[in-house]
């Protein structure tokens, strides 16, 4: 049992712990992973843990996939990290906050475990934004045609050209003529490639290492991963897109009884197999 076992909810000890918790928001998480990576890549640290410096990769799932992708891109910017990453493996990653009406967002709008309105709220939380913006963002009012700052970036996630017909099906883009200009004014981080790696410059993508992206059919984030794979391929990166037709967001964690789902076991095995073969 932990040190707080048996402590009542009215305990001063609990309250003091709550007061000591510091909530942090973007971009602090990015800074954290960069600091940790720089520390880990020091020769003496690598030697301590018997790590081959030529076999270092980054990986993460969901929001962790976002941080892994952002960190991968930082390897192209930060001199102390350059050329030190062998691969990146992204598991149903969160990669963009500009379009919440891609085919997968429309198809899986109310699909557990991650319905669209929850994903949009997570983005607002990440930026310490205003929940009053959620409904407007759901219909893409934050990147409407009158938001000039978003114009060039929208082309980088144009799913009508980045997704295959089997994924696009009969879904139509949602592009508002006029929207809510306050959203980007108050949350400019929405248009930052450090938060939305899918909109990074082509030159950044060209410098990325071999990449594995796992996507699931029943997931609002499916198209983020597929579009990123397409953009990376176009930039000349060696990409493996591993798509599971019966997969859902978070399925890889369901590998133990009583939730030992077949798709959880298969996604985990496929991911580990790729790492074994490429790292």
d(CA 36, CA 142): 33
Which of 59, 62, 104, 144 does the annotation list as catalytic? Answer: 62
| Catalytic annotation present for 165 | no
Reduce the secondary structure of the chain to three states and give it as a string: CCCCCCCCCCCHHHHHHHHHCCCCCCCHHHHHHHHHHHHHCCHHHHHHCCCCCCCCEEEEECHHHHHHHHHHHHHHHCCCCCCCCCEEEEECCCCCCCCCCCHHHHHCCCCCCCCHHHHHHHHHHHCCCCHHHHHHHHCCHHHCCCCHHHHHHHHHHCHHHHCCHHHHCCCCCCCCCCCCHHHHHHCHHHHCCCCCHHHCCHHHHHCCCEEEEEEEEECCCHHHHHHHHHHHHHCCCCEEEEEEEEEECCHHHCCCCCCCCHHHHHHHHHHHHHHHHHC
Q: Using alpha carbons only, what angle is made at residue 18 by residues 16 and 22, rounded to the nearest 5 degrees?
A: 115
How far apart CA 232 and CA 160 sit, in angstroms, is 17
> In what order do the strands lie in the sheet containing 57-61?
57-61, 87-91, 210-218, 239-248
Which positions are annotated as active-site residues? 62
């Amino acid at each position: 049992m932990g040190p707080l076992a048996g402590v009542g909810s009215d305990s001063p000890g609990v309250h003091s712990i709550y007061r000591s918790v510091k909530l942090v928001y973007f971009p602090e998480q990015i800074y954290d992973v960069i600091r940790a990576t720089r520390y880990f890549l020091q020769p003496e640290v690598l030697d301590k843990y018997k790590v081959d410096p030529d076999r270092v990769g980054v990986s993460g799932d969901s929001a962790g996939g976002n941080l892994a992708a952002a960190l991968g891109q930082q390897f192209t910017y930060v001199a102390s990290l350059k050329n030190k990453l062998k691969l990146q493996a992204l598991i149903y990653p969160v990669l963009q906050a500009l379009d919440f009406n891609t085919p997968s967002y429309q198809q899986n709008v109310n699909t557990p475990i991650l319905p669209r309105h929850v994903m949009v709220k997570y983005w607002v939380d990440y930026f310490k934004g205003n929940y009053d913006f959620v409904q407007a963002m759901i219909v893409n009012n934050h990147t409407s045609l009158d938001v000039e700052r978003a114009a060039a970036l929208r082309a980088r996630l144009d799913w009508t050209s980045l997704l295959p017909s089997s994924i696009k099906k009969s879904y139509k883009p949602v592009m508002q003529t006029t929207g809510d200009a306050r959203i980007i004014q108050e949350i400019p981080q929405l248009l930052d490639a450090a938060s939305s790696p899918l909109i990074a410059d082509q030159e950044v993508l060209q410098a990325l290492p071999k990449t594995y992206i796992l996507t699931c059919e029943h997931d609002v984030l499916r198209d983020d991963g597929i579009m990123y794979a397409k953009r990376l391929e176009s930039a000349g990166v060696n990409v493996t897109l591993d798509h599971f037709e019966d997969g859902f967001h978070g399925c890889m964690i369901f590998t133990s009884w009583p939730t030992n789902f077949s798709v959880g076991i298969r996604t985990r095995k496929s991911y580990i197999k790729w790492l074994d073969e490429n790292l």
